[in-house]
């Protein structure tokens, strides 16, 4: 009996390592996340460009992401951002999985522009992370923040609409409007010309 037991082959765990299967099922490999980094400075603030890039690269490494694309832009926030469009085009072609920016104000020209691009990225299935605000739209807190941005975008559009309407009514003049009434300039309380209440 003893001889028969010693003649049986001993199975080792090497079969698992060779096949890559555990309990008959293959192991899933982690998907590599491809990040697109966007750094922008105004012409007066160029010294922060290397700092933004370095911090975003370090963050991407800590998250285990591969930096697939990095764009750097120098210019005013009010102008059309052609280089940012290259990053959005890469997202549209599915060449990146997440956009990483230093700050929200580096990405969006206005609240409305910021919201529009964030909605487009969400529609494309591309994540968005703002490093300094710790905003990650893949999380519930990040999506809540995006909802707040939508509220402010609507407010910004309404205020801009009021300004345009006022300018069309009174071209070339600045008007203070409260409840649709034109307010007359008043003398501040405490001034030598203040006559007191009527």
Question: What separation in angstroms does the CA of 89 have from each of 81, 86, 97, 135, 166?
Answer: 13, 5, 12, 22, 38
What's residue 103's pLDDT?
85
- Annotated active-site residue in 6, 42, 53, 76: 42
What's residue 179's pLDDT?
44
Q: What's the per-residue H, E or C state across the chain?
A: CHHHHHHCCCCCCHHHHHHCEECCEECCCCCCCEEEEEEEECCCCHHHHHHHHHHHHHHHHHHCCEEEEEEEEECCCCCCCHHHHHHHHHHHCCCCCEEEECCHHHHCCCHHHHHHHHHHHHHHCCEEEECCCCEECCCHHHHHHHHHHHHHHHHHHHHHHHHHHHHHHCCCCCCCEECCEECCCCCCCCCCCCCCCC
**pTM of the shown model:** 0.61
- Contact indicator for 131, 100 with CB cutoff of 8 Å: yes
Domain 34-156, what architecture? 3-Layer(aba) Sandwich (3.40)
What's residue 14's pLDDT?
47
Token readout for 39 is 């750094």
Answer yes or no: is pLDDT of 181 > 50.
no
Q: Where exactly are the structural domains of the chain?
A: 34-156
Q: Is 76 a catalytic residue?
A: no
pLDDT digits over 48-81, tens only? 888 999 999 999 999 999 999 999 988 765 566 7
More confident residue, 107 or 25: 107
Give backbone dihedrals phi and psi of 196, rounded to 5 degrees, phi first.
90, 175
Average pLDDT over residues 122-144: 87
Give backbone dihedrals phi and psi of 150, rounded to 5 degrees, phi first.
-60, -40
What's residue 158's pLDDT?
82
């Amino acid at each position: 009996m003893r001889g028969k037991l010693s003649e049986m082959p001993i199975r080792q765990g090497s079969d698992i390592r060779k096949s890559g299967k555990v309990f008959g099922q293959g192991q899933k490999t982690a998907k590599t996340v491809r990040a697109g980094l966007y750094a922008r400075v105004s012409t007066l603030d160029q010294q922060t460009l290397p700092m933004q890039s370095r911090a975003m690269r370090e963050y991407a490494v800590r998250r285990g992401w591969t930096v697939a694309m990095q764009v750097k832009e120098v210019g005013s926030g009010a102008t059309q951002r052609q280089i940012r469009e290259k990053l959005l085009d890469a997202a549209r072609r599915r060449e990146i999985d997440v956009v990483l920016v230093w700050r929200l104000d580096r990405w969006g020209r206005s609240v409305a522009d910021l919201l529009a691009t964030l909605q487009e990225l969400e529609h494309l299935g591309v994540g968005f992370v703002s490093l300094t605000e710790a905003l990650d739209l893949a999380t519930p807190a990040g999506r809540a923040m995006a909802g707040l941005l939508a509220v402010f975008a609507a407010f910004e559009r309404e205020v801009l609409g009021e300004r345009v309407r006022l300018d069309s009514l009174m071209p070339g003049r600045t008007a203070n409007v409260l409840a649709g009434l034109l307010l007359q300039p008043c003398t501040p309380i405490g001034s030598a010309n203040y006559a007191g209440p009527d």
